[in-house]
């Protein structure tokens, strides 16, 4: 559990010291991609807890989820449908589900 936390702290401090801001237009894409990766992390933690973790599945899942989510927003913007909310809802639900399962494991030990 320590290593991911260390990674998170490294990432945050990198982001804080890196002088990079995203144009307002793209903030939406970024937020969805962010949620997708958050979902991936929770999924990974759950799989790790269940001892079903597969490295390739996890890494590919992370990238495809983030890209697909951003792509969905882009397509939605072209079609005039707010597919943004679809991604938000799906990832949000999954995060809470995974969190519930992780919590059970946490409580059982």
Partner 1 sequence: MLKLRQGQAAIALVCVVLGFMLAVQFRTAQDIRSSIPFQRIEDLSQRLSQTEKERDVLLKQVYELRQTTGAESATKESENIKMGAGVVAVRGTGLSITIDDSKRLSKPGENPNLYLIHDEDMLKVINELWAAGAEAISINGQRLIATSEVRCAGPTLSVNNTRYSPPYEILVIGEPQTLENSLKMRGGVIETLQFWGIQVSLKKQDIVDVPAYKGAFRFEYAKPIKDGGK
Q: Does 85 bind partner 1 (CB under 8 A)?
A: no
Q: Please pick, from the candidates 4, 75, 85, 96, the single residue that binds partner 1 as defined by CB under 8 A.
A: 4
Lay out the site mask for partner 1 across 21-40 (x = CB under 8 A, - = otherwise): xx-xx-x--xx-xx--xx-x
Among residues 53 and 90, whose Cβ is nearest to partner 1?
53
What's the 3-state SS for the chain?
CHHHHHHHHHHHHHHHHCCCCCCHHHHHHHHHHHHHHHHHHHHHHHHHHCCCCCHHHHHHHHHHHHHHHHHHHHHHHHHCCCHHHHHHHHHHHHHHHHHHHHHHHHHHC
Among residues 4 and 85, whose Cβ is nearest to partner 1?
4
Whole-number minimum distance, CB 12 to partner 1, in Å? Answer: 4
Q: Does 44 bind partner 1 (CB under 8 A)?
A: yes
């Amino acid at each position: 559990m320590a290593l991911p936390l260390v990674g998170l702290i490294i990432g945050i401090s990198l982001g804080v010291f890196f002088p990079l801001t995203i144009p307002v237009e793209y903030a939406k894409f970024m937020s969805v991609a962010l949620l997708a990766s958050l979902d991936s992390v929770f999924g990974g933690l759950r799989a790790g807890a269940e001892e079903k973790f597969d490295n390739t599945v996890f890494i590919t899942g992370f990238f495809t989820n983030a890209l697909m989510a951003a792509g969905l927003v882009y397509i939605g913007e072209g079609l005039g449908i707010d597919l943004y909310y679809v991604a938000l809802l799906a990832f949000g639900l999954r995060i809470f589900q995974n969190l519930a399962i992780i919590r059970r494991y946490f409580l059982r030990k």
